[in-house]
Amino acid sequence: MILSHDISRRAFGAMVLGSTAAACAPQIDDAIAEPALPAQEDWVEGYGPILDAGYNLPGIPARYLEGVNRRITGLYQGEAPPNSLDVDPYAKFLYHVKADGTATRYPVGVGRAGRSIRGRAGRSIRGRATMQFMRAWPGWTPTQNMLRTEPEVYGDFRAGIPGGLRSPLGARALYLFRGGRDTFYRIHGTNDLPSIGNSGSAGCIRLFNQDIIHLYNQITAPMPVLIRSPAESLRVDPENYDRGMELPPTMIAAEELIGPDAEAANRPPDLDALSPGMI
């Protein structure tokens, strides 16, 4: 996002949003146990606990929201058209570009080195695509490329994981197509909090669950998507180019997600509790 002359990037990065509302490695945390919502906590606005589809989603601790690593809204002078999504995998942001010249910027997690923005057959994706449809609490199945390149991470999950707290796609997912074909590239939620602002996924784009829910509620499908190249990222946001660090893949035993105990404790999302426009 390039700011107008009256608002510096640094000032924009300090702003806090005034209102609250694939295929990737499995992650689990305390959300699986569905903890009670905390009675008292000083949450960053927009990132507190929420009730969604019958699940109590924990708030995001402030240590994961420092600096630019939080949702903000400001003037947009980038290169994507209005009413579109602009993904910068190098500065690790996603922008919802609006018709009034503003955009909401969300911090994201991206793929590890050699896996940045990968879709069909593991090919890198950049340029134009279309967000063809979106889903609340979707299930997940690893792609053939993931099974081939990292069988030790994904092999046990080849049959997939149903939608809900166990699914690595989190609370919402957006599905990208190009030329009418599924790219297998997803923009989705995650409870892997340290991955946001860093490189640690298998090539998808992750958002905090609070952010993907917020984004999901603002948009409709289909929607154009621009995925920036390194040159575009440097041209538009050199200050944040290549921010963050590379994280190793998180290894989770299959028993934790698809074993008998996990299956017995599983409770599917209550999609009837969501408004029709949120399913």
Q: For the chain, list the domains and their CATH numbers.
A: 9-278 (2.40.440.10)
pLDDT for position 69: 98
pLDDT for position 276: 67
User: In 137-258, which ranges are E strands?
Assistant: 172-178, 181-190, 199-201, 205-208, 223-227
Lowest mean pLDDT among 167-176, 177-186, 208-217, 248-257: 248-257
Tell me the two tokens of residue 37.
């919502």
CB contact at 8 A, 110 and 199: yes
The residue type found at 97 is V
Alpha carbon distance, N-terminus to C-terminus of the chain? 30
Distance CA(126)–CA(181), nearest Å, equals 15
pLDDT for position 170: 97
- Checking if the pLDDT of 30 tops 90, the result is no
Task: Give start and end residues of each alpha helix (H) in the chain.
Answer: 9-14, 144-149, 151-154, 209-216, 230-236, 254-258, 260-265
125 confidence band (pLDDT: 50, 70, 90): confident
Distance CA(226)–CA(260), nearest Å, equals 42
Q: Which helix (H) or strand (E) holds 71?
A: none
Share of the chain above pLDDT 90, in %: 64
Distance CA(241)–CA(173), nearest Å, equals 25
153 confidence band (pLDDT: 50, 70, 90): confident
251 confidence band (pLDDT: 50, 70, 90): confident
